[in-house]
Amino acid sequence: MPIHLPQLTRRDFLKRAALAGTGVLLAPSLFAQAAGKGQDADTVFFFSDSHIAADPATLSRSVNMHDQLAAVVREAVAWPVRPATVVVNGDLALKDGQPGDYATFAAALDPVRALAPVHLSLGNHDEREHFWKALPGDAAAAQEAALQRQAAVVETARANFFLLDSLRQTNVTAGELGSAQLAWLTKELAARPTKPAIVVVHHNPATQADIAGLMDGEELLTLLAANRQVKAYVFGHTHDWHVETHASGVHLINLPPTAYVFKAGRPSGWVRATLAADGAEFELRALDVKHPEHGQVKKLQWRAG
């Protein structure tokens, strides 16, 4: 039951801005800034852990999450090229996925929808039924209805992105994919054996000592290792920025939050990824431009096979 938010036309963008009642005078110039540039078919923007509340003034850990997301959106809109797509990787809502949270989140994200289609996944602070009712789905939603999960394949020129749903229980930290979703991933990977595959899940792949991550993370990593077209696993959840390589050669990319961090001194922000024939680069765009890791680029080589 995937939900993809299609790229907005100018008319739709202005209509939504007027209904929102905020920034209407700036809307035409904002849309022009977003849409009036060339598209890079090999670039993808990643946001994660926005934790938006219905009330934009809400604070958590002394951070205004709405303001943080707005700053990320402004920088993404100002980027020199439009990406092929934008992925927001879970924990869209603050705590337990209330309908108003998603309404505020969607309005904040509208300027990005002038850039490219947006694909949404779910985390442990989301609530599926509220999410599905609050945001429009496209015609592809019916194809994965049997899973009752937010699973989808997004195809780009150089890689296929497999978006999975690790929401096990709302407002419970640990996540789980489940046997049905792992079987779906196995089938979808088998149908696309040659193009590089990047798997995107909200939760980090847990080890036995880490009960706060993905409960079936070891099963997932075994599956990814066995399918040589899988080159990278992208996740959020830990509110950190980190890149490492699994023993199988699969790269593990931990996205920073757009909202608050868990550990003082770590960066919040977003990630720009640009694909090449044999790898990709992932760049941290920290909200604090003075952060020592702001602009850090991780150049990754894909494993063979």
Task: Write the CATH number for 237.
Answer: 3.60.21.10
Separation of alpha carbons 92 and 3, rounded Å: 13
pTM for this predicted structure: 0.92
Angle between helices 179-190 and 217-226 (to 10 degrees): 10
**pLDDT above 90: residue 305:** no
Q: How confident is the model at residue 149 (pLDDT cuts 50, 70, 90)?
A: confident
Q: How would you class 277 by CB atoms within 10 Å of its CB: exposed for 0-12, middle for 13-18, buried for 19 or more? A: exposed
Q: Helix (H, G, I), strand (E, B), or coil: what is residue 44? A: strand
Enumerate the β-bridge partners of residue 89: 121
pLDDT above 90 covers what percent of the chain?
A: 76
pLDDT above 70 covers what percent of the chain?
A: 86
Rg (CA), the chain: 18
| Tens of pLDDT, residues 245-303 | 999 999 999 999 999 999 999 999 999 999 999 999 999 999 999 999 999 999 999 99
Angle between helices 99-113 and 27-35 (to 10 degrees): 60
Region 93-120 average pLDDT: 93
Q: Which amino acid belongs to residue 192?
A: R
Kind of pairing, strands 82-89 and 39-47? parallel
Q: How confident is the model at residue 25 (pLDDT cuts 50, 70, 90)?
A: very low
Q: How would you class 126 by CB atoms within 10 Å of its CB: exposed for 0-12, middle for 13-18, buried for 19 or more? A: buried
Distant-in-sequence, close-in-space partners of 134: CB < 8 Å, separation ≥ 6: 99, 102, 103, 106
Question: How many domains in the chain?
Answer: 1
- State the pLDDT at residue 125: 98
Enumerate the β-bridge partners of residue 196: none
- State the pLDDT at residue 147: 75
Print the domain residue range for 55: 4-301
Separation of alpha carbons 173 and 40, rounded Å: 36
- State the pLDDT at residue 6: 80
Check residues 132 and 300 and name the one with the higher pLDDT: 300
- State the pLDDT at residue 29: 63
Give the mean pLDDT of the chain.
Answer: 90
| Tens of pLDDT, residues 64-80 | 999 999 999 999 999 99
**pLDDT above 60: residue 27:** no
| Tens of pLDDT, residues 222-251 | 999 999 999 999 999 999 999 999 999 999
Region 99-119 average pLDDT: 92
- State the pLDDT at residue 11: 73
- Expressed in angstroms, the distance from the first to the final Cα of the chain is 31
- State the pLDDT at residue 5: 85
Q: How confident is the model at residue 142 (pLDDT cuts 50, 70, 90)?
A: very low
Q: Give the residue carrying structure tokens 């303001």.
A: 67
